[in-house]
Amino acid sequence: KAGVTQTPRYLIKTRGQQVTLSCSPISGHRSVSWYQQTPGQGLQFLFEYFSETQRNKGNFPGRFSGRQFSNSRSEMNVSTLELGDSALYLCASSLGPGGHNEQFFGPGTRLTVL
Amino acid sequence: AQTVTQSQPEMSVQEAETVTLSCTYDTSESDYYLFWYKQPPSRQMILVIRQEAYKQQNATENRFSVNFQKAAKSFSLKISDSQLGDAAMYFCAYRQTTTGGSNYKLTFGKGTLLTVNP
């Protein structure tokens, strides 16, 4: 069974641009969560989607948004990029949103903002 | 809000020796999960072991075991017979499971970088 895939693996953007990251969950998984990882702030929860609905959102500005499609694939978008958005963005999928469902992580997308 | 604290930014261990990584957490919930994740240099986050708060027995997975002290809100990871492949960043994480609660996000500690010396 294929794992969680994220595309692209690496991105370089400049300030003010926008970016879209993609996450394909494990087959059969319907819940997708996004996390931002930086050296200073560590791992922080961005949002969680289940059945095309955003269930929860972390403490990030409105420039960060996401969506989930009917096939459970998810995208996150960051508009008006800032230098501080440089980070590793991790996607995790699980069968459902319940706390007992193990989250499986993808390899991440490394975003560099110049 | 739940918080997770890992007080050891870096640890090192000799190959074949045993090392213990510390983690404390704060929560007002009674039902939750605790996890240890491993993130090798390749960056793929891997689940090492998990503990359900209502289970008193400490979880064990091969060379990995935990010491779960619910009253003290402590959750340490012991790695026995350390191998070179154990070198990685280790994250302690918390996730609530309360029925009716809708936020099942993982809350992570800052991580402990483990070096294994040959």
pLDDT of residue B101: 55
Residue B111: pLDDT over 80: yes
How sure is the predictor about B102, in pLDDT bands with cuts at 50, 70 and 90? low
pLDDT of residue A2: 82
Alpha carbon B102 to its chain centroid, in Å, reads 23
Query: A100 and B108: CB-CB below 8 Å?
Result: no
CB-CB neighbors (< 8 A) of A100 in chain B: 33, 97
Contact A31, A48 (CB under 8 A): yes
Rounded mean pLDDT, B47-68 = 94
Work out the minimum CA distance from A100 to partner chain B, whole angstroms: 7
C-alpha–C-alpha distance, residues B55 and B111, integer Å? 25
Residue B99: pLDDT over 60: no
> Over pLDDT 70: what percentage of chain B?
96
What does the block give as tokens for A113? 């903002």
Q: Average per-residue pLDDT in chain B? A: 92
Secondary structure (DSSP) of A2-52: ---EEE-SEEEE-TT--EEEEEEPPTT--EEEEEEEETTTEEEEEEEEETT
Asked if the bond preceding A97 is cis, omega within 30° of 0, the reply is: no
Burial of A54 (0-12, 13-18, 19+ CB in 10 A): middle
- CA nearest neighbour of A102 among B85, B80, B44, B50: B50
- CA nearest neighbour of A32 among A58, A55, A2: A55
Work out the minimum CA distance from A45 to partner chain B, whole angstroms: 7
State whether residue B45 sits within 8 Å of chain A by CB. yes
pLDDT of residue B100: 56
Q: In a mutagenesis test of the B interface, which of A4, A44, A103 is the best target, namely the one with the most B β-carbons within 10 Å?
A: A103
Residue B77: pLDDT over 90: yes
Rounded mean pLDDT, A23-47 = 95
Nearest to B106 among A88, A103, A106 (CB): A103
Contact A52, A66 (CB under 8 A): no
pLDDT of residue A56: 87
Per residue in B12-53, pLDDT tens? 999 999 999 999 999 988 889 999 999 998 778 999 999 999
Q: What is the DSSP letter of B18?
A: -
Nearest to B45 among A45, A97, A105 (CB): A105
Rounded mean pLDDT, B78-87 = 97
Residue A23 backbone dihedrals phi, psi, to 5 degrees: -140, 125
Work out the minimum CA distance from B17 to partner chain A, whole angstroms: 28
Work out the minimum CA distance from A15 to partner chain B, whole angstroms: 25
Query: A35 and B33: CB-CB below 8 Å?
Result: no
Output b/e per residue, B85-118; b: 16+ Cβ within 10 A.
ebbbbbbbbbbbbeeeeebbbbbbbbbbebebee
Q: Which residue type occupies A98?
A: G
What does the block give as tokens for B21? 């990584």
> Over pLDDT 90: what percentage of chain A?
88
Residue A27: pLDDT over 90: yes
Per residue in A84-103, pLDDT tens? 999 999 999 999 887 778 89
